[in-house]
Structure 1
């Protein structure tokens, strides 16, 4: 984080002196949290990193910490587990849930899916609902956050006067009904929500701008129109803001929201369908031994972070006919040429990989064009674009998006794509405290 001075620093009053501002970036695929003490000002935002070990297993290509996967693990007693110090409580050494443990993914997205989304609810434990899983997850996140905060004595605060205020990110596309649901679930999860000041909601696009302004206050000025492209794991959201003031930062939307389910999850879903079709061609009576799981992990840990790099994939080790192809070691000794399995590897062509990425990338580029045209119709100038979101870790997506922006002569502002929103959420909360 930048060490530059913050121009706007109102005096600290007795009312807010002992407030701890906690920001939670509650993503559909990953969650992170950070905090700051009001009396310290905006220069000391600290990201939390001591999450339970079973929720912080290292995944190649993804940060080991401070983010955790937005997933829930349930045991046979319908209790959400995995929030202890036992690294082996939930996940085996191979990275799979242990017998009797059920992993629930993608539950947050189901609270407010896009209207045209054709989603199947993830398999749930008996008697559990999506809302119930959300409450369980938020409850454990809250408890884990509190366990990571330093003691009042370490913060030079009076413990009897400390108050916590939570600011949590939501998609810009969420309507009031979805926001109300989240507040209700937060109360059930143990958050103290006496008013919106105790548990406030901040869109990810706004949080990103707060952090970008803090990182480099010269990146945009009053009157500038800034396109924010939030390329998350599920949703890609874009909206253009006009900067109304800088100290404090005030924003006003000047375009409608562009939103598509075009993140890494959609790309992965296309790949999973290809894998399923190959497995069908194996025509095995018994279920193939973890072929699908191995391919899924390979795509997430290797392809998503590296596809588009000139040095990936490395040269094929079988023959020149496979040059440029991708392979996943599925651990099968038998040959299944009809399923593209040779020498224990399932093979994928570059064309197959492009068929996974290009639909989402083309949607993202279309959204940029939509925002550009909306600004042009207002006879305004789009000066810059702030890029954030985990999907931009992929070189292919990042390269094509940057090329599109370059064609329109739009300056790219790129902060820490993984932690911009969680830091910015705290800064948004600090502004609220000082108002």
Structure 2
């Protein structure tokens, strides 16, 4: 995206932050690249009286297929929440394209691929919140929501710039995804966006950008460009300083650490350590609350609560809890009590049900919050340790995202004494909730401000190699029919190792060779595998190693005269050596096919 973002013409850039709980969008154009000229959408269908930076990511389906979304959903109406997280669940396979019938894996055509274990639905009982009467797939659901969001964004652009101009002008869409997103989830996100029409007009383009990178670009740019007097403040970041960015959202919490490479003439950052994160956003406080309610009132009444009035009672309760959750902080004194609507249930003081309301004490809220706080602090600690291991102590922790505006989270992090660094100053920038979408626009306008990134996992391929009894297991041994040598299958050759420096100008190469018969259209594939371990294992049988995607190299358009003639067992055949090049961008991997120094385009990718 670095080279592609150097815009040769006047273009509009739209930042799109599709979140687990709320979604937002901002836009700017290449004629005015300053922060002040980046505008966020603040008027949403169904929300007429109050401006908001974001709109709920909920969608509500009727039996006839018609759906409402965002603020248009009636209070208490059954809905599908947290749909974004479904894109990264291993139990959804119906959207994955089947491998081609003539699939031949170059590494090991006889290896068996273990079937992934199904994942259990964490909240099958909360039907009112996970209402999917049409049994739509995650990609279908997200595409439906993004279609509605796309229409609103385009309507806003036409209103502010004029329909004729919008119809003529190209738009770059920069869509953000969690840094912890799997490659499959990245691909599914892009597929859903494309189905919604995003980036599909002539000359329009669609890019993916990691959420913490977008937030970091905004946070630092905002810090320096809103008030130039801050540049001489000794407490401000200087070239060579490091900082940690924590993007706490509804579903995920992403962390990334940067070193400031330059401040003038433009911002330049480089990743200091491998980023980290987890699914521990604010929705998991909601889940803890549901567990608390179920524990307090018992299984039978909880099941009734989930079903009562088609989930309306539960949804009203969760809606009210959202306000309690946002306001929870130091101002809430021990002993304070909040009351949430729970209509239709008899009084039960032991269960906390009083006059159609459910009591939530200060200690109850701490029970919902603290496990998530501990997890987030642990993630921040891990990033700080990684930075300190490079010989630098982070100067700040920037806390952004919707959940990042929580006073309780802010105070817990600010009061914590981190190992190796002690207490670190926490900065919660202005407009922290919209930092991701604004940063995505800046990224699209100015090009990549991150000069290098750290690879988050190991990538490689299965290979057969000469057997070594000190390394290999006998069960992997076989004898080559060509050479008679003892070989070992189910081994891995790592192309990129975790922590390696990557940027969009660096290419990592997977070299492949094959033979084929004359008259055969050359299509060959390789399975890319991955491991998250800090030190990559040699064996494909290691539990950390998993199949990531199947790469199909199609050289069928190359004339036979370009290939080398070989003789195999007395039969005239052809041979080819080609290369699949990997380029790492902020939130996706690009694969290109090369044969004899000629590029034959993108490699078809099928994720497992």
Which category describes the TM-score, using the shorter chain as reference length? 0.7 to 0.9
Distance 1:225 1:346, change over 3 A: same
The residue matched to 1:201 in structure 2 has which SS? strand
Unaligned 5+ segments in structure 1 are 1-12, 314-322
Shift of the alpha carbon at 1:130?
Answer: 1.0
Tell me if the contact between 1:282 and 1:338 (Cα under 8 Å) persists in the aligned partners: no
**Equivalent position to 1:223, from 236, 240, 257:** 240
Please name the residue that 2:352 is paired with. 340
Q: Tell me the equivalent position of 1:259.
A: 277
Where does residue 408 of structure 1 map in the other structure?
422
**More helix per residue: 1 or 2?**
1
Contact 1:51 1:66 in 2 (8 A): no
Structure 1's 360 and 153: CA in aligned 2 closer, same or farther, altered over 3 A?
closer
Counterpart contact for 1:230–1:238, Cα < 8 Å: yes
Residue of structure 1 equivalent to 2:176: 169
Deviation at 1:67, TM superposition (A): 0.6
- Greater shift in the superposed pair: 22-31 or 213-222: 213-222
Change (3 A) 1:236 1:431: same
Query: Bigger shift: 188-197 or 64-73?
Result: 188-197
SS in 1 for 2:399: strand
Q: 2:205 aligns with which of 198, 207, 210?
A: 198
Q: Structure 1 383/163 Cα, relative in aligned 2: closer, same or farther at 3 Å?
A: same
Gap change, CA 1:383 and 1:286, over 3 Å in 2: closer
Separation in 2, partners of 1:238, 1:350: 29
Partner residue of 2:446?
431
- Structure 1 residues 35 and 124, CA, compared in 2 at 3 Å: closer, same or farther? same
| Higher share in strand | 2
Secondary structure in 1 matching 2:60: strand
Scaled by the length of structure 1, the TM-score of the pair is 0.80
**1:109-140 CA distances to partner (integer Å, 9 max, x unpaired)?**
11125999854584423252111011111111
| TM-aligned CA distance change 1:404 to 1:237, over 3 Å | same
Is 1:242 the counterpart of 2:235? The answer is no
Quote the Cα distance in structure 2 between the aligned partners of 1:283 and 1:175.
38
Shift of 1:64: 5.2
State the 1:96 CA deviation: 2.0
Q: Which moved more, 1:214-223 or 1:234-243?
A: 214-223
Alpha-carbon deviations, 1:347-402, whole Å to 9, x = none? Answer: 23333222111101111111121112111222122111111011133322111011
Q: Structure 1's 140 and 329: CA in aligned 2 closer, same or farther, altered over 3 A?
A: closer
Q: Which residue of 1 aligns with 2:483?
A: none
Please list the CA deviations of residues 152-204 of structure 1 after superposition, one character each: whole Å capped at 9, or x if unmatched. Answer: 8669x956641111011110112333222222222221123589981111111
**Number of residue-to-residue matches in the alignment:** 394
Task: Give me the CA root mean square deviation.
Answer: 3.4
* CA displacement at 1:312 relative to structure 2: 5.4
How far has the Cα of 1:421 moved from its partner? Answer: 1.2
The answer to whether the 8 A contact 1:202-1:425 is kept is yes
1:22 counterpart = 2:14: yes
Matched, 1:372 2:384: yes
Structure 2 residue ranges without an equivalent (≥5): 1-5, 92-116, 125-129, 225-230, 451-608
**1:269–1:15 Cα change, 3 Å:** same
Gap change, CA 1:119 and 1:16, over 3 Å in 2? farther
Q: Which has the larger radius of gyration?
A: 2
**Paired residue for 2:42?**
49
1:297 to 314, 319, 328: 319
* Matched position secondary structure for 1:272: helix
Contact 1:152 1:159 in 2 (8 A): no
For the residue of structure 2 that corresponds to 1:297, the secondary structure is: helix
Alignment partner of 1:306 out of 313, 320, 327: 327
CA–CA separation in structure 2 for the residues paired with 1:417 and 1:44: 17
Q: CA deviation at 1:434?
A: 11
